[in-house]
Amino acid sequence: MPRVSALDLPDVPKGHLPPHLELQRTRVLCASDAPTHTETIQYSGAYASVGVDNSLRLDQFCRDFRVEVIRLTEDDMEFDMVGIDPSLANAFRRILIAEVPTMAIEKVLIANNTSVVQDEVLAHRLGLIPIKVDPRLFEYMSENDTPNEKNTIVFKLHVKCKIKGPRLTVKSDELKWLSNGSELPLEMESHTSDPASKQKTYTAFTCSQVSLPEFSNNPIAPKHQDIIIAKLGPGQEIELEAHAVKGMGKTHAKWSPVSTAWYRMLPEVVLLQEVEDEMAEELVKKCPVNVFDIEDVGKGKKRATVARSRACTLCRECIRGEDWEKRVALRRVKDHFIFTIESTGALPPEVLFTEAVKILEDKCERVITELS
């Protein structure tokens, strides 16, 4: 006997919800005082009494779920994610912010700093510079690991302002990638080691990173060349080495691969009544983002229509004032997410999202393996 899912059995009710309940289930109602019905109804039997099944079904999900990319540039993307629960969309957002790894400067070895910027502040500023490198090519460095070409990227910064020159602004393009690892000798055994053997440095690279195929024609550098690191007065100098390692945004925001990632639910603007003539014009004028348009109905009559509901920022101007709440309803579609990812530049935004999906997958798998 073929296995049939219990859900497909005929006794499962397949009716439809009455319109007001359906509205509550699928829309957030944004009234002028407060949004209502913001939560999603999870319980499968929530509508059992009216004969409707509220359970989530995989086949249904697979059928309904779709992703539509609206805008994709080098650094940011906007896409619609339809047919998904807010908790899942939120999971992606959270993972993007906190758990997708990147490389960021973690250790700064300052050889000389005579600028006005204090060492700690300088190090902090360096840490926040996004580095354009695929973190997937690197390993995490744990506490007792030695830094090697697999887990560390080394940059050098050596700038000096001429004594009788103008003031100098040190920008991120001064950060030079040292593919062979650190150049600063380790102090410890500097006297004992014989001159023949290689001087030990702060890193233990076995080979140059340039020799690795991934970087051979793709040198590592900060994503932006014009981030101000410090300003130097005449005679001031900064000489340092910065070691970038792999990390996650939850440890420190510098490892977050996104400036921010967020979503908003699809706005839905509904005219509950016909809005005509002066009222229509008033309505069009009210909206700062031009959600409404005017339509000629003939005979000199005009009617307001909703033209660009997606642009609504929920300023609630259109429902401000007497009676307007009766004419216009602002809603959000609960399972349609306009997702925006602003990448810091380590990875393109679309890759970031797939990475996030992979991480969620991993987590699910881990749960499954832990449970079984």
The backbone torsions φ and ψ at residue 111, rounded to the nearest 5 degrees and listed phi first, read -85, -35
- Check if the beta carbon of residue 150 is closer than 8 Å to that of residue 124: no
Nearest distance from C-beta of residue 120 to other proteins, angstroms = 4
CB of 268 to other proteins, least distance (A): 13
**Considering the complex, what minimum distance in angstroms separates the CB of residue 38 from other proteins?**
4
The amino acid at 304: A
Dump the DSSP string for 191-209.
TTS-TTSPPPBS---SS-G
Give Cβ neighbours of residue 96 (< 8 Å, ≥ 6 apart): 257, 258, 261, 341, 352, 353, 356
Instruction: Give whichever of 120 and 274 is closer to other proteins, judged by the CB atom.
Output: 120
Residue 10, both tokens? 């005929």
Q: Which is nearer to other proteins, 94 or 303 (CB)?
A: 94
Report in angstroms how near the CB of residue 357 gets to other proteins at its nearest. 16
What gap in Å lies between CA 211 and CA 102, rounded to an integer? 22
CB closer to other proteins out of 205 and 318: 318
Identity of the residue, 30 or 329, whose beta carbon is nearer to other proteins in the bound complex: 30
CB of 372 to other proteins, least distance (A): 28
Q: By CB neighbour count within 10 A (0-12 exposed, 13-18 middle, 19+ buried), where does 160 fall?
A: middle
User: Which tokens in the block code for residue 235?
Assistant: 């005679």
Cβ proximity to other proteins: between 121 and 297 the closer is 121
Q: Which residues bind other proteins (CB under 8 A)?
A: 28, 30, 34-36, 38-40, 86-91, 93-94, 97-98, 110, 113, 116, 118-121, 124, 128, 249-250, 252-254, 256, 260-265, 288-289, 313-317, 320, 332, 340, 342
Query: Which of 88/271 has CB closer to other proteins?
Result: 88
> What is the rounded distance in angstroms from the CA atom of residue 258 to the CA atom of residue 253?
9
Residues whose CB is less than 8 angstroms from the CB of residue 211 and which lie 6 or more positions away in sequence, other chains included = none
CB of 187 to other proteins, least distance (A): 10
